Structure 1
Amino acid sequence: MREIEQVIRAAANGKIPGIWLWYGEERFLTQEALRVLKESYLKEDPSGSSIETLSAEEVSPAAVVALANSSSFFSRRLIVVQDLPYFREGASEDVECFNGYFADPNPGTCLLFVAETVHKGRKFYKAAEKYGAILEFSSPRRTWEWQAWLKAETEVRNKEMSPEAAALFLAWAGHHSGVLSRELDKLEVFTGERRDILPADVEQVVIRTAEATVFELLDAVARRSAGEATVKLHEVVRLEHPLKVMTLLVRQVRLLLGALAWRRRGEDGASLASALNIRPYEAKKIWAQSQSMTESQLARALQECLRTEIALKNGGGDPVFLLEMLIIRFCAG
């Protein structure tokens, strides 16, 4: 079950945990779930007085416990604690006061802790796991997981997207749920009462990410098509600052070198994602691109990238022209 659906169900059934720890890299989904949870409290108290948000960097654990234990005019109260330092080295003693509260929490209070990362070996995590509930917000990783996510999001909007449109949408818009959600909102408005979202709709509405265009740029480089590669470069430069474009190119070249090294070891593409610590959909593209490039070509490309980056940072010429020359040398190499 998707994390936000668990929050919706808990709120609808009146079974919101008294101690709740949320964590994960998906900040957009976390904020969406928090919005849903807050709405359930706002139905009882539209003024929002039953909801409090604290920064753990500014409020001590003892103060958090005191607030959670204090009486309230409202039958239910939500206390959201963010910016958690509790998983750092040396934080064990500071959080000892939570142990007693977690074992016997105020029944009218939901004490929600929100973090990006956690340390499962820390006492705070173990106490939250023992006495409360923990929810990890993670983005999809595999292609089928993104397709399932996209299907669910289009259904929420009472829309359908053909497999061709879905593939184009993910290729253009990338794989960040916040960006994808905004692009889906635009498609929802654009298509109006029409239920089907077509590839033509995606082409007219969705903005291609710089990362997606960089893949197309390197495809053109692999074909030695300097003209097409330069056109793609200009598309990327319209989206990002030249130094950011340079960073994207360097990253891509390094990933391709990693893929070639992995191939040389006799490994297959299926295990590349874990080897390079990238998402499976990206690994699939990198593996395919690496088939048409040589190690010497990529090594020269990396050297050219570093020279161009130095020129960009030291004002060695017009940034776009420097990047154009880099791409032309890529194609000539």
Structure 2
Amino acid sequence: MMKQYETVIGLEVHVELATKTKIFCGCSTEFGGAPNTHTCPVCTGMPGSLPVLNKKVVEFALKAGLAANCQIHQYCKFDRKNYFYPDNPQNYQISQLYLPICHDGWVEIETSAGKKKIRIHEMHMEEDAGKLIHDEWEDCSLVDYNRSGVPLIEIVSEPDMRSSEEVIAYLEKLRCMMQYLGVSDCKLQEGSMRADVNLSVREVGAEQFGTRTEMKNLNSFKAIARAIEGERERQIELIEEGKAVTQETRRWDDNKEYSYAMRSKEDAKDYRYFPDPDLPPIHISDAWIEKIKAEQPELREAKQARYQEEYGLPAYDAGILTESRHLAGLFEETAAIYGNAKKTANWFMGEVL
């Protein structure tokens, strides 16, 4: 009898926030630009420079958290995560470990198997690192700090996904939600949405999780799906051969369709977290939360339901017309001017698209 295996997957999704300036300084967050031109003493980690929190970052994090049904820590603070890497100018990253701004949420996904809730463990604010460019010709690495200090939220899911189909549905759900909220453009090719995949396998029916690995360097949905299939097969092969799966961070090479070990997986204690002494705690008032709730846009599911009810459109049409907030806005304005939503929808589904 062949053993049956189940894949257990949790994701850490980094979303770059669409603020005009960085999280702790006034430098531009614009993508591109000549290397090291969007920088200052704060985001390049110069001694004696002090961070000042960008209020818009907190607002965007709250918007995202509320849309994903999260609880809000109304008293939260920043922590230092210490590690030494050339693209990390201060030798620590300012993040949130002990009191993340949002926690215990969920989003609902839809796959061929039906609807499913994916729980969100937490969302926290942090700063992005710079970017290393490896020059093969000169055999050296160059660093560009333009991205250093760009605000991120990291969305950490519970290990609730069981297939690459569920993972892609979850990522598409998050991407659509963030774009509707206007908190991020979520362009994977520019790195403004990145996902690390934590994956383990276990025998079907087993209570305990297997040993997980984390895969990095995934910058398209196709690469994520391929990496999940590749890593699942690699782990099953090891188990079948009676070998142990090592807990480690692996890097996926999409051209070779192969992952290789980068480093053994660190625990929180290896980062020597402690509260950041330069940043005061954040107090989020009830009034501020209420204000943000009142400003939340109509999200895609609500729009789809309204299009079917108000305009009498089929579910398929409503689904296509709400794929982006921009398209939905154009459709609504056109329908209002023309006065016949069904004909407007037909024209959009045909000529416009």
Q: Give the shorter-chain TM-score range.
A: under 0.3
Q: Per residue, is there more helix in 1 or in 2?
A: 1
Q: Could you say which structure has the higher strand fraction?
A: 2
TM-score (norm 1): 0.26
